[in-house]
């Protein structure tokens, strides 16, 4: 502990709560309160209802939730495959090529997502690669936006691997593919699950590029939340936002459980 006295620790914790509660916890609690509000006249809701949640299990709301979950699942797996493969490939390359790969995969982090959406729209709006107005371009945009996080996570995990384990397996006569399958990937499994969870969560909340690319029959949940609040249905939008947070947390909890089990194997 950097702070030793009891009074200093108390002041440190109080300052932490004063900063964290208004900035992080209070806005989320207000969203949850709004999702149950039937009328809001003052600082807090003056009447409550669960009607906004009843609509989540049917119609366009349910379709939007399924669309977001499937989009995030596909984009997360694709990003993990591409980013993980690139991170593994970068390990065996020279310093300059490795720096080039690092810069290439860092690029989507430096570019706003709306610019990535515009770039894909321009690139795939004419034959022979005509993807404008299809679900494929939405999945592609999400994959491009989250692959950087998968690459960085796996890259950092590879840097912490003990090379003696792979060298021992290779010294016992195991071919490279078997070393990768039986030694490297099992050791990386906790980081791979963590990277997938991060990519999934980021894809679930992606809005800017999606707004530019989504087809009319492929409406993700963030777009539906934006549309609901834009037309004044604030309480419905809040209920949709709570559903988005809850579904993301469920998947993150599942991946955390898998990561914990993989760490003890």
**Model confidence pLDDT, tens digit, residues 77-96:** 999 999 999 999 888 788 88
DSSP category for residue 48:
E
Contact residues for 88 (Cβ-Cβ < 8 A; gap 6+): 154, 158, 180, 184
Query: By the 8 A CB rule, do 138 and 208 touch?
Result: no
Summarised one tens digit per residue, pLDDT across range 129-140 is 888 889 999 999
Query: By the 8 A CB rule, do 157 and 191 touch?
Result: yes
Query: By the 8 A CB rule, do 108 and 144 touch?
Result: yes
193-214 residues labelled b (16+ CB within 10 A) or e (exposed): bbbbbbbbbbbbbbebbbbbbb
Summarised one tens digit per residue, pLDDT across range 237-247 is 999 999 999 99
Look at 43-47, 144-148, 223-227 and tell me which has the smallest mean pLDDT: 43-47
Tell me the whole-structure pTM to 2 decimals: 0.86
């Amino acid at each position: 502990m950097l702070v030793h006295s009891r009074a200093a620790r108390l002041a440190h914790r109080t300052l932490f709560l004063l900063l964290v509660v208004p900035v992080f916890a209070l806005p989320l609690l207000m969203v949850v309160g709004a999702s149950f509000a039937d009328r809001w006249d003052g600082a807090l809701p003056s009447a409550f209802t669960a009607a906004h949640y009843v609509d989540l299990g049917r119609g366009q709301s349910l379709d939007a939730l399924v669309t977001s979950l499937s989009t995030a699942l596909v984009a997360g797996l694709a990003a993990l495959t591409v980013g993980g493969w690139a991170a593994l490939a970068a390990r065996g390359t020279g310093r300059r090529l490795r720096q080039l790969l690092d810069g290439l995969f860092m690029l989507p982090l430096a570019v706003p997502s709306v610019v990535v959406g515009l770039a894909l729209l321009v690139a795939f709006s004419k034959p022979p690669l005509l993807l404008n107005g299809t679900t494929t371009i939405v999945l592609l945009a999400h994959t491009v936006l989250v692959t950087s996080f998968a690459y960085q996570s796996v890259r950092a995990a590879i840097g912490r691997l003990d090379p003696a384990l792979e060298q021992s397996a290779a010294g016992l006569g195991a071919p490279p593919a078997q070393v990768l399958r039986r030694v490297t990937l099992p050791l990386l499994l906790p980081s791979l699950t963590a990277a997938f969870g991060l990519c999934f969560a980021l894809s679930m909340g992606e809005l800017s590029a999606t707004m530019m690319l989504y087809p009319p029959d492929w409406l993700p949940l963030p777009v539906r939340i934006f549309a609901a609040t834009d037309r004044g249905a604030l309480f419905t939008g809040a209920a949709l936002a709570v559903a988005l947070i809850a579904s993301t947390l469920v998947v993150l909890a599942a991946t955390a459980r898998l990561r914990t089990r993989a760490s003890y194997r």
